[in-house]
Amino acid sequence: AALEAVMKMTLGHEFGAGAACLKCKDKCEGFELHFWRKICRNCKCGLAEHDVAMNSEENKKVGKLFEDTKYTGLIAKLKTDGLPSYRGNMITISLPVTYEWAPPVANKYLAVRYIELLPPEKRPVAGTEGAAYRRQQMARQLPEHDQDPSKCHELSPAEVKQMEQFVRKYKDEALGVGDVLLPEEMALVQAGGSGGYARVAVRDHSASTSSCHHCQQPMRLGEPAVYAERAGYDKLWHPACFVCCTCNELLVDMIYFWKKGKLYCGRHYGDSEKPRCGGCDELIFSNEYTQAEGQNWHLKHFCCFDCDCILAGETYVMENEKPVCKPCYMKNYAVKCSACQNAVEPEAQRVSYGEHHWHAEPECFKCSGCSKCLMGQRFMAVQGFLFCSVECKKKTMA
């Protein structure tokens, strides 16, 4: 069993290995998964930024998400008897356009109309930016490490248990997938019009139900709407309005989490329930963690972004919102003093003028002509040289 576990981990780390980074191009030697951060060791971008064919992985992930949950949507429930299964629906229409995903409705026209109602740059048309957008949102909104303890790094048995309870809870209480229907059809369903739909409760279909729950604007006659079983079939959304309340992005493949009257994507539902580690991007299930720089961190993950040394009790500097240790800061980020040419320590006082910097010390911040200390004095700066007076400038620059 131990050997099997090791094999699994290696395989996990090999997925996507070597794929080129679409953002960094030649600067990345190819995707190589960091030991515990969910990013590339070479360029520090995520897997989604690399050129990896993800379709089969995505479908596996989404299938796993909907394993043993009852709420897979009205249509799936009406159509399938056994366990809910999920497949990325590829549909090709005359144009020739291939959608990497389309809502699983029997009526092809409705599926196509749903996609046409999305912003053009977000339509999952194969080979376009819309398809790349969907893939990126798939990774961002539904992190595997929010679903599966085996995708997390070194959880203790207690943390695994906590996480399993968390996953159980959202499957029971929040997770669902939207349905695309014409409001007229939904009215029929609710009235029990066709036999197969009898399980859905009959509700009064009043006029108020036909404005979008997000933008409050009316639905257009004959246009499909999105319904969410968790929200109740008295609410409906324009396809482009079925978005996460936190990131405002389209809910990828209409997969939603419903909580207290709001739609969330998986990531932001998780964030609303648990702190998330700024280092490994996993939700934190241990009681002990640290807060720094407005983020939460596993104790062992408050580390230098460049060399991974642990920063607890050490001097660190925030660079691009990531903590780095002092040695890495000095090597990679520190500004150089224009006088002594040494890097300026993060805690040192410095004077900056344009793109030039100096130690705020008499040995460095001084006149290049007469060496007079210029701290608190009038000075002029010319190409990184400091002068106390026009005379010293003339004398030196001549």
Name the minimum Å distance from CB 366 to Zn ion.
8
Nearer to Zn ion, 34 or 77 (CB): 34
The one among 37, 134, 268, 356 contacting Zn ion by CB under 5 A:
268
* Residue 71 neighbours by CB under 8 Å, 6+ apart: 175, 176, 177, 229, 230
Interaction of residue 367 with Zn ion, rule CB under 5 A: yes
Query: CA-CA distance, 331 to 395, in Å (whole number)?
Result: 36
The backbone torsions φ and ψ at residue 12, rounded to the nearest 5 degrees and listed phi first, read -55, -40
Query: CA-CA distance, 301 to 295, in Å (whole number)?
Result: 12
Name the minimum Å distance from CB 191 to Zn ion.
24
Name the minimum Å distance from CB 31 to Zn ion.
5
The one among 212, 250, 303, 374 contacting Zn ion by CB under 5 A:
212
Interaction of residue 40 with Zn ion, rule CB under 5 A: yes
Q: What is the largest CA-CA distance in the chain?
A: 99
* Residue 310 neighbours by CB under 8 Å, 6+ apart: 300, 302, 303
The one among 265, 283, 317, 351 contacting Zn ion by CB under 5 A:
265
Nearest partner of 65 among 280, 252, 285, judged by Cα: 252
Query: CA-CA distance, 237 to 307, in Å (whole number)?
Result: 47
The piece of 61-69, 71-79, 235-243, 288-296 that touches Zn ion (CB under 5 A) is 235-243
The backbone torsions φ and ψ at residue 332, rounded to the nearest 5 degrees and listed phi first, read -110, -25
* Residue 364 neighbours by CB under 8 Å, 6+ apart: 337, 339, 340, 358
Name the minimum Å distance from CB 57 to Zn ion.
18
* Residue 267 neighbours by CB under 8 Å, 6+ apart: 140, 141, 142, 143, 146, 247
Interaction of residue 247 with Zn ion, rule CB under 5 A: yes
The piece of 94-102, 129-137, 159-167, 276-284 that touches Zn ion (CB under 5 A) is 276-284
Name the minimum Å distance from CB 131 to Zn ion.
19
Interaction of residue 124 with Zn ion, rule CB under 5 A: no
Within positions 313 to 332, which residues make up the interface with Zn ion, using CB under 5 A?
325, 328
Name the minimum Å distance from CB 367 to Zn ion.
3
Name the minimum Å distance from CB 219 to Zn ion.
8
The one among 364, 366, 374, 393 contacting Zn ion by CB under 5 A:
364
Interaction of residue 370 with Zn ion, rule CB under 5 A: yes
Nearest partner of 152 among 30, 306, 2, 283, judged by Cα: 283
The one among 117, 337, 374, 386 contacting Zn ion by CB under 5 A:
337
Nearest partner of 176 among 74, 283, 88, judged by Cα: 74
The one among 7, 9, 158, 215 contacting Zn ion by CB under 5 A:
215
- Backbone angle region of 293, left / alpha / beta, with phi > 0 → left and psi within -120 to 50 → alpha: left
Helices (H) and strands (E) in the chain, counts: 10, 15
The piece of 36-44, 98-106, 119-127, 250-258 that touches Zn ion (CB under 5 A) is 36-44
Pairing relationship of beta strands 255-259 and 175-177 according to DSSP bridges? antiparallel
The one among 134, 276, 359, 393 contacting Zn ion by CB under 5 A:
359
Name the minimum Å distance from CB 92 to Zn ion.
29
The one among 244, 317, 334, 386 contacting Zn ion by CB under 5 A:
244
Give me 276's structure tokens.
């998330």
> Tokens 């008897």 map to which residue?
81
The one among 39, 43, 311, 334 contacting Zn ion by CB under 5 A:
43
Interaction of residue 228 with Zn ion, rule CB under 5 A: no
Q: Which spans of this chain sit near Zn ion (rule: CB under 5 A)? A: 21, 23-24, 28, 40, 42-43, 45, 212, 214-215, 238, 241, 244, 246-247, 265, 268, 277, 279-280, 298, 301, 304, 306-307, 325, 328, 337, 339-340, 359, 364, 367, 369-370, 372, 388, 392
